[in-house]
Structure 1
């Protein structure tokens, strides 16, 4: 009697259980295969090391003005967390190298970046590197790294023209596209690139050209090497040969001054640079690298004192060729060709630091590969 009663009580529950089993969508082992497939897909993504240095992309608004902000107020981890979809592009590891506005960028941070990148590639820690950076000196950091790192793996710099708290912050889109370019196989062998505002620029040519516009970065005389959007990465031409100088082992760069040419120019700044121990001078000359007669006489004195002098231009576009209006052969000067003053300074520093000191050898390095 008790057994029959128990069976009657259990029948409704058994029916419910059997009904649930009938409508189960997938057996448990199938779900396990799905999870396993997701893990495998994640493991196949490229490994991208993100090195954060600060800048506007890590900035926060300040009430001192309608567009005021403080750079370097957000960490790299916080920055990455605010960009949806990155986890579908790559496996990311974030390290904070510095957190400064890029007007405070300096050679010691450059050396830390170079050594960390070199170690990451040599130890197979990463397949590519993305560097977040302020825009004021981004072209200089990019050019330095492009010159001293010979590895074929992608190195991408990106930043923002508006802080992370702005109404229309451009940092998240730039960050997403930088990781996308870094994760693209076709990026290998192209040297250091700058990715901003849907454009891909080579470190050799890129320059900041506008104080506030989103499309501030341009590659004068060459144009961008590619374009990027959330759906695609396109390169317009094959990779080109690049200048290479070994990284100075002592992590020191000699003093090289940039002197800006102007109307009614005398030689006071040139003489002062020699007096205070500069090993090199880069002239941001007028037109195709010209200076006044008084300034040219000062450059002659500098050359006689053993200072290497490079003629560049303040104009922004065009080449500074040898022996045009200035007889470089007679005065012992170096022409910068397509390097602007700030990049010419970096190349001259690296050459002097690695014992390339004669004007002829330095001129060869400035023209190498072009």
Structure 2
């Protein structure tokens, strides 16, 4: 366990030298050339903040802490075992709670991660992230990166200053997975609590407990035993997973897509208000397998006809499939937050009706 005193004292600058070329000047870089081992894979850690970098006033405080308080240099220095499995390079991309992550930030992160993965000297990438929206970032990266190299998104449910903080071991496991040749060709992965999961399907299922990131229907890709990854299956990708090339996409070209929540007696005017506020697309968090009230569907049909609004129906249940619809598109197995990014990317790419239907419902 890493003590509060140690974590708060590890902010000293580290040597900035390594075989990996530096990122743009706006980013802070952490390397330790003295510990470089030519036989170890080079793993780049993009830090964005979150609970894994959180700090609280006492070691028994696990709520009400400050997210994104510690830098990536502190996180790396607190886990010296990282150098047993890799040559880690830390890039301080951001340091915020994950609720502050925006589509524009994700576009920039995707480009930087892709640039790093394209370097022959980089064997894998880890992204540290707050857990509140970790699944959204992981999903976005999964459908916008093109690589066989491992990409792992990791976070923590307890701040770094807490008793039994899960961040250090999660980070070590994430880097170990990213450094493993067996992790290649599996798309973006999420690693927390000894589990390895597909970013495409994984979601946060519990607001507080460490054992929270799961994909109930699709299951886990693997497990970590003594910090050694054990994969259950040969490398494979989710069936029908799309790819969107965003290397030339400007932030303003990602259209606004809002999410509406379904409930008894829902207000149909909320859909029109969202479109009036600039939404080009709507994701409806439907009841059951995506059901919506009759007045609500009539309002959505008018928006589709009069404004060309793209409408996707997902579900408010933990899991399940939403199939084809008479009004709009069914989201398939995608939950609302993942359907939202899929719709944003599809609208940005100029998808027409048939492409949308194939994308969501095939």
TM norm. shorter chain > 0.5: yes
Q: What residue number does 1:273 align with?
A: 274
**Aligned match of 2:16:** none
Distance 1:284 1:50 in 2: 34
TM-score (norm 2): 0.85
SS of the residue corresponding to residue 110 of structure 1 reads helix
User: Which residue matches 2:168?
Assistant: 172
TM superposition shift of 1:126: 1.2
Structure 2 CA distance for aligned equivalents of residues 259 and 55 of structure 1: 26
Give the deviation of 1:123 after TM superposition. Answer: 2.9
**Equivalent in 27, 34, 43 of residue 38 of structure 2:** 43
Q: Residues 303 and 40 of structure 1: is their aligned pair in 2 closer, same or farther, counting only changes over 3 Å?
A: closer
Equivalent position of 2:348 in the other structure: 353
Greater shift in the superposed pair: 264-273 or 93-102: 264-273
Structure 1 window deviating more from structure 2 (259-268 vs 64-73): it is: 64-73
C-alpha distance 300-87 of structure 1, shift in aligned 2 (>3 A): same
Gaps of 5+ in 1: 1-38, 323-327
Q: Offset of 1:121 from its aligned partner?
A: 2.1
1:97 — aligned with what? 93
Q: Structure 2: how far apart are the matches of 1:143 and 1:166?
A: 28
The SS at the match of 2:69 is: coil
Higher helix share: 1
Mean Cα deviation higher: 103-112 or 255-264: 103-112
CA contact (8 A) 1:308 1:357 kept: no
| 1:340 and 2:335 are equivalent in the alignment | yes
Q: Against the structure 1 CA distance between its residues 66 and 166, is the aligned structure 2 distance closer, same or farther, given a 3 Å change threshold?
A: closer
- 1:230 and 1:89 map into 2 onto residues whose CA distance is 13
User: Is contact 2:173–2:227 with CA below 8 Å preserved after alignment?
Assistant: no
Q: TM-score, normalised by structure 1?
A: 0.84
Q: Distance in 1 between matches of 2:295 and 2:35?
A: 69
Larger Rg: 1
The answer for the alignment partner of 2:237 in structure 1 is: 240
Partner of 1:362: 356
Q: Residues 227 and 335 (structure 1 numbering): CA distance in 2 closer, same or farther, change over 3 Å?
A: same
Runs (5+) with no aligned partner, structure 2? 1-33
Task: Provide the rounded CA distance (Å) in 1 between the counterparts of 2:35 and 2:274.
Answer: 60
RMSD: 1.8
Distance in 2 between residues matched to 1:83 and 1:66, nearest whole Å: 20
- Distance in 2 separating the partners of 1:309 and 1:189: 32
Q: Is the CA contact 1:97–1:112 (under 8 Å) kept in the aligned structure 2?
A: no
1:336–1:176 Cα change, 3 Å: same
Q: Secondary structure at the match of 1:60?
A: coil
Q: Secondary structure at the match of 2:245?
A: coil
Taking structure 1 as reference, are residues 198 and 261 closer, same or farther at Cα in structure 2, changes over 3 Å only?
same
Separation (CA, whole Å) in 1 of partners of 2:155 and 2:286: 30
Q: Residues 115-152 of structure 1, C-alpha deviation per residue, up to 9 Å, x if partnerless?
A: 11111122324110001100000000000000011111
Equivalent residue in structure 2 for 1:81, among 71, 77, 80: 77
CA deviation after TM superposition for structure 1 residue 65, in Å: 6.6
Q: Is the 8 A contact 1:76 1:94 kept in 2?
A: yes
Paired residues of 1:144 and 1:346 also in contact (CA < 8 A): yes
2:316 aligned residue: 314
Distance 2:205 2:117 in 1: 32
Please show how residues 10-49 of structure 1 align to structure 2 within 5 Å: 42-49=37-44
Between Structure 1 and Structure 2, how many residues are aligned?
A: 322
Tell me which residue corresponds to 1:36: none
Q: Distance in 1 between matches of 2:102 and 2:226?
A: 33
**2:106 equivalent in structure 1:** 110
Alignment match, 1:56: 51
Partner of 2:63, secondary structure, is coil
Write out per-residue CA displacement over residues 67-104 of structure 1, whole angstroms, 9 at most, x where no aligned residue.
Answer: 32100000011001101311010011111000000011
Name the counterpart of 1:24.
Answer: none
Q: Shift of residue 227 of structure 1?
A: 0.8
SS of 1:70's partner is coil
User: Residues of 2 paired with 1:269 and 1:319: CA distance?
Assistant: 25
SS of the residue 2:37 aligns to: helix
Aligned positions of 1:101-250 closer than 5 A: 101-238=97-234, 239-241=236-238, 242-247=241-246, 249-250=249-250
Query: Larger deviation: 131-140 or 214-223?
Result: 214-223
What corresponds to 2:258 in structure 1?
A: 257
